[in-house]
Amino acid sequence: MLNRRRFLNVGCASIGATAALKASSAIADDWPQWRGPTRSGVWQEAGVATHLPPGQLPIRWSVSIGSGYSGPVVSNGRVLVTDKQETSERVLCFSESDGKLLWNHEYPCRYTISYPAGPRASITVDENVAFALGAMGDLHAIDTSTGNVVWHRDLNADYKIAMPIWGISASPLVYQDIVVAHIGGADGASVLGLDRDSGKERWRALDDRAQYSAPILIRQANQDVMVLWTGDSIVGLDPSTGKMHWQIPFRPSKMPIGVSTPVVEGDQLFITSFYDGSVMIRVPSESLTAEKLWHVRGKDEKNTEALQSIIATPIFRNGYIYGVDSYGQLRCLDAKDGRRVWEDTTATPQERWSTIHFVQHGDDTWMLNELGELIIAKLTPDGFKEVSRSKLIEPTLPQLSRRKGRGVCWSHPAFANRHVFARSDEQLLSADCSA
């Protein structure tokens, strides 16, 4: 069983990828939450392939599920994901080894949001409890062994959420005995700290609008600091109390639209916004402060030298940032000033909102593009070097039907136990990635 406090201490130290690379193999084998064990997008297992076969990557198992944007998570031999039925949402749990359905929890949920293809937020598994946050604000704590509901909160009803146009999307963060949910509630409840075991409110913070970006943990002044990109600012909060340590205003020119997660290297924190460009913030390790270093944006989201992502979370590595821009351009930026170093247009289609999910494994970057292609590449300041590419999963239409009838694959994959786990609006699958 995963020790919760040990897991969280690893997460708190993840100001960049270094701590994640030093985490124990027992922790890293699973992928229990958004972007992996420490939310850093780092996959550290040994014995992983360095090349992919041409054509279709052999599938270990595949099961039918409903639509949804939420990526799967893997913990203690189980794969968990959420989906949407006609008038309900579901939390599903499958066997990691063969895809057998172990349990499911279904509850009524009526959508009033745009792009109603299903839940957005990945589940967070802490020890033997799964915390699943639905698109309309239903938060469930479920025993992963039995599928029994430990507690449930209708956060929309309880906190009068100013519902974002695309629904609640930020994956819950578990810190010690608190579950953090970013919802955009009224009366200072933009972000909530709830008791892990009961769901009761422990603290609330901010009057900011909700954003779609998930919170992360960093370390400052020998303290754990939760970094959250809201609909109006970038803030550093005490995850135990909700107390604000620092705040950088970042009010969008049009609307809150950020999906990507803040990424860090050393004392630098990077954020990319579809309409409003790239921002670099210094978050010094010695003090509970922050300062904006630079902000680069273009004439608009299409005519820009910056990195103006919407869905994809970039890679921040060795002083350079690698990400996919608003129309599918894979770009490298110099972290010193945001200057573009290079651009490539072969990794994903050149379409509005075209995306890639990046996961770093040693010097290899694993990339799942919106065509459902899995790519191993080398990303360096010298350029994009594709090593190999395989088909993993077919894109589907409910998430976005604009792509000339082919749809997209926009859900983040999980990498665990030398396998990749991916979902579409029709299936959840597992494929072997071992050497």
Q: 172-222: per-residue pLDDT in tens?
A: 999 999 999 999 999 999 999 999 999 999 999 999 999 999 999 999 999
Least confident of 24-38, 261-275, 324-338: 24-38
Q: Is the pLDDT of residue 334 over 70?
A: yes
Position 17 pLDDT exceeds 80: no
Instruction: Determine the pLDDT at residue 351.
Output: 95
- What separation, in Å, do the N-terminal and C-terminal C-alpha atoms of the chain show? 27
| Model confidence pLDDT, tens digit, residues 134-175 | 999 999 999 999 999 999 999 999 999 999 999 999 999 999
Q: Would you tell me which CATH number, out of the four given (3.30.70.100, 2.60.20.30, 2.130.10.10, 1.10.8.100), belongs to the domain 4-432?
A: 2.130.10.10
Condensed to tens digits (0 to 9), the pLDDT of residues 290-301 reads 999 999 999 999
Query: In the predicted model, is pLDDT for residue 19 greater than 80?
Result: no
pLDDT at 416: 98
- pLDDT of 59: 98
Residue 4, classed as helix, strand or coil, is helix
Residues 78, 91 contacting (CB under 8 angstroms)? no
Please, what is the average pLDDT of the chain?
93
Please name the residues in contact with 22: beta carbons below 8 A apart, sequence gap of 6 or more.
none
Q: How confident is the model at residue 28 (pLDDT cuts 50, 70, 90)?
A: very low
Structure-derived torsion over alpha carbons of residues 104, 106, 112, 116, reported in degrees to the nearest 10: 30
In a 10 Å sphere around its CB, with 0-12 CB exposed, 13-18 middle and 19+ buried, how is residue 307 labelled?
Answer: buried
Average pLDDT value for residue range 86-93: 98
Asked if residue 2 has pLDDT above 60, the reply is no
Contact 309, 297 (CB under 8 A): no
Note the pLDDT of residue 358: 98
Burial of residue 363, with CB atoms counted within 10 A of its CB: 0-12 exposed, 13-18 middle, 19 or more buried: exposed
Tell me, what DSSP letter sits at residue 164? -
Residues 6+ apart with CB under 8 A from 236: 218, 220, 225, 226, 227, 244, 245, 246, 247, 283, 288, 290
What's the pLDDT at 326?
Answer: 86
Q: What pLDDT shows up at residue 259?
A: 96
Contact by Cβ (8 Å): 89, 133: no
How far apart (Å, rounded) are the C-alpha atoms in residues 214 and 175?
A: 14
Other C-beta atoms lying within 10 Å of the C-beta of residue 18: 13
Task: Provide DSSP, 341-395.
Answer: EEEESSSS---TT--EEEEEETTEEEEEETTSEEEEEEEETTEEEEEEEEE----
pLDDT number for residue 404: 87
Give the pair of three-digit tokens for residue 22. 């030093």
Do 241 and 203 touch, CB atoms closer than 8 A? yes
pTM of the predicted model as reported, rounded to 2 decimal places? 0.94
Q: Is the pLDDT of residue 246 over 90?
A: yes
pLDDT at 21: 33
AA letter at 137 = G
Q: Answer yes or no: are the C-beta atoms of 166 and 152 closer than 8 Å.
A: no
pLDDT beyond 70 at 397: yes
Reported confidence tier of residue 424, pLDDT bands at 50, 70, 90: very high
The span from the CA of 226 to the CA of 8, in Å, is 12
Strands of 262-371, DSSP E = 263-265, 268-273, 277-282, 291-296, 315-317, 320-324, 330-334, 340-344, 356-361, 364-369
Is it the case that residue 352 has pLDDT exceeding 90? yes
Rounded Cα distance, 425 and 401, in Å: 12
- If phi > 0 it is left, if psi is from -120 to 50 it is alpha, else beta; for residue 244 that is beta
Average pLDDT score over residue span 357-366: 98
Residue 27 has pLDDT above 50, yes or no: no
Distance (Å, rounded) from C-alpha 95 to C-alpha 117?
Answer: 25
Give the integer Cα–Cα distance in Å for 403 and 385.
Answer: 26
How far is it, in rounded angstroms, from Cα 322 to Cα 314? 5
If one counts every other C-beta atom within 10 angstroms of the C-beta of residue 243, the result is: 12
Give residue 209's identity as a one-letter amino acid code.
R
Q: Looking at per-residue confidence, does 27 or 98 come out higher?
A: 98
pLDDT (0 to 100) of residue 122 = 98
Strand partners, 332: 322, 342
CA pair distance 386, 271, nearest whole angstrom: 26
pLDDT at 7 > cutoff 50: no
pLDDT of residue 305: 86
| Residue 8 pLDDT class (50, 70, 90 cuts) | very low
Q: Amino acid letter at 232?
A: D
Mean pLDDT of 361-380: 98
β-pair type (419-423, 356-361): unpaired
Rounded CA Rg of the chain? 20
As a whole number, mean pLDDT of residues 383-409 equals 95
What confidence score (pLDDT) does residue 402 get? 86
Backbone dihedral region for residue 430 (phi beyond 0: left; psi -120 to 50: alpha; all else: beta): beta
Please state, in angstroms and rounded to a whole number, the distance separating the CA atoms of residues 150 and 3: 19
Counting Cα atoms < 13 Å in the Cβ hemisphere of 184 gives 25
CB 297 within 8 A of CB 305: no
Phi-psi group of 127: left, alpha or beta (phi > 0 → left; psi -120 to 50 → alpha; rest → beta): left
> Which tokens belong to 307?
């990195």
The residues pairing with 22 across neighbouring beta strands, listed in sequence order, are: none
Q: How confident is the model at residue 48 (pLDDT cuts 50, 70, 90)?
A: very high
